[in-house]
A and B are shown apart, each in its own frame.
Chain A
Amino acid sequence: MPEISRRDFLKLASQGFIALSGLFGLGMLLRFLGYQTEPPPPTDFDLGPASNYASGSRTLRPEIPAVVIRTSNEFTALSLVCTHLGCTVESKPEGFACPCHGSRFDLQGKVVRGPAVKPLNSLRTGITSDGILHVYTN
């Protein structure tokens, strides 16, 4: 056991307790700063009766933001959140274009031009028993 003077030991011990206090205080601070004052945004969007969406239609729903695509027998929802850094892509005849950094997607959401790498997300859809279309972002 190496020798340590009483003075140095006391100094080390004091610094140790202050360091512990600092760590504990940091924990308290992180809990303080982690509180969220606003509720998280909705993940379930009620889009009205599914019968409102004609077969073969593509409907823009900017509140999600997504485009609701109905083929003859099924619904899909394509998220309009650019997979690069999150801007809302604009709808174009040939697909989607992101105004922020130039990413381009085709009508199915596949990347035509970067810098985005991943295709536009497909969002889960569902129809309730009374025929209401829902889109889920989670």
Chain B
Amino acid sequence: MRPSFFHHLHPPTIPARQARLRYTLASGGLAVFLSLILLVTGLLEMFYYIPTPDQAAASIQTLTFLVPYGGLVRNLHYWTAQFLVIVTLVHLLRVILTGAYAPPRRLNYLIGMGLLVLAILLDFTGYILRWDEGIRWALVTGTNLVKSIPLIGNALYTLLVGGTQPGPATLIRFYGWHIFGLTLAAGILIAWHTFRVRRDGGIAVPPPPLREDQRRITRYELVRREVLAMLLSATALLLLSSFAPAPLAAPITATSVSQTARAPWFFLWVQQMLKLGNPFFWGVVVPLAVLVLLSLIPYVFPKPAKPELGRWFPKSNRLAQVVALLILISMIALTLLALRPAS
């Protein structure tokens, strides 16, 4: 058959071993698909969401309880967003643990790190748009962390918050970032990232002479597998969204009080560290250091050897794998500690 536009987006063939689910975990492709779901459900939410402090939480209540399938759309958007952050992290971990960042893929690795940061920022800005009592302290501490940066902190804070304290200007700026600014950046990086995958030679494999298994699958088979993954993940998200509601608390008003001071799940590790002391150090420096360390892996650590590419846990980049796993375990540990009930 003649290949369609979608078929042509894929290489004519790819190595069969590296196309397997147990190799890629479908994480990269899933990230793209989840992003598409977020774009569509996000647009649908935009028809009902009103980005002013008086009406934000009430418009979300209208969407959730009164609009037909409004709750479903909102839950889909919420769960897909959380899974996108998780899938992006899984993808990053997969890339490190299979050594798939070796040259010429080092630039693409950095683009991917940028996408990770964007995914987290999109999750956070979306969370703030609820403007309910659950987000109040996250907004205050998050923006104050920016203020804690020496020299440029106050200027950055004003840019971010649009005033001297969080208010209507902040909400509309976060809305602008979430709907357009960060989304545009993510769109550009997704396009560049997927382009680079093909430019860098597709999925990481040993060079042909060193390859044990020479089998390949066609683009038709690849697209079929992707369609299968999309169908299954869409169904799973639909079912989850039908039964598990996205969180929503009472609106922020002049007299409302916050019941909780818990960070969103992906920042619990930072909240736990902030209990230790200096906010600039634990809230800005350490997380940035983790990001920088992860970004430096392809440049500083011993490179994976070409014969070992295309498989899990190659010996040649063992140090990078250990470092990545240690960072993961620490973040999970910090998150679990943060979840303990306050004494």
Contact = CB atoms under 8 A, between A and B. Distances in A.
A and B touch in their complex, CB below 8 angstroms = yes
B62 A32 contact: no
Contacts of B69: 28-29, 31-32
A37 B67 CA distance: 9
A2 to B, nearest CB: 20
Interface in B95-115: none
Contact of B48 (A28, A29, A37): A37
Interface residues of B, number: 12
Interface string A1-42: 000000000000000001000000000110111110100000
Contacts of A18: 231
Contacts of A31: 68-69
A49 B23 CA distance: 82
A33 B68 CA distance: 8
Nearest to B50: A37
B6 to A, nearest CB: 14
B239 to A, nearest CB: 14
A33 B70 CA distance: 9
Nearest to A17: B231
Contacts of A33: 44, 47
B291 interface: no
Nearest to B73: A32
A28 B73 CA distance: 10
A64 to B, nearest CB: 29
Contacts of A28: 68-69, 72
B73 A35 contact: no
B66 interface: yes
A31 B67 CA distance: 8
A120 to B, nearest CB: 35
Interface in B35-74: 44, 47-48, 62, 66-70, 72-73
B220 to A, nearest CB: 11
Contacts of B48: 35, 37
Contacts of B44: 29, 32-33
A10 to B, nearest CB: 11
Contacts of A32: 44, 67-70, 73
A37 B55 CA distance: 13
B241 to A, nearest CB: 12
A104 B245 CA distance: 57
A28 B70 CA distance: 10
A18 B67 CA distance: 25
Contacts of A29: 44, 69
Interface in A26-75: 28-29, 31-35, 37
A50 B66 CA distance: 41
A18 B227 CA distance: 11
19 contacts: A18-B231, A28-B68, A28-B72, A29-B44, A29-B69, A31-B68, A32-B67, A32-B68, A32-B69, A32-B70, A32-B73, A33-B44, A33-B47, A34-B68, A35-B48, A35-B67, A35-B68, A35-B70, A37-B62
Interface of A: 18, 28-29, 31-35, 37
Interface of B: 44, 47-48, 62, 66-70, 72-73, 231
List the 4 closest pairs (A to B, CB-CB), nearest first. Answer: A31-B68, A35-B67, A32-B69, A28-B69
Given A34-B68, A35-B66, 14 more contacts: A18-B231, A28-B68, A29-B44, A29-B69, A31-B68, A31-B69, A32-B68, A32-B69, A32-B70, A33-B47, A35-B48, A35-B70, A37-B48, A37-B62
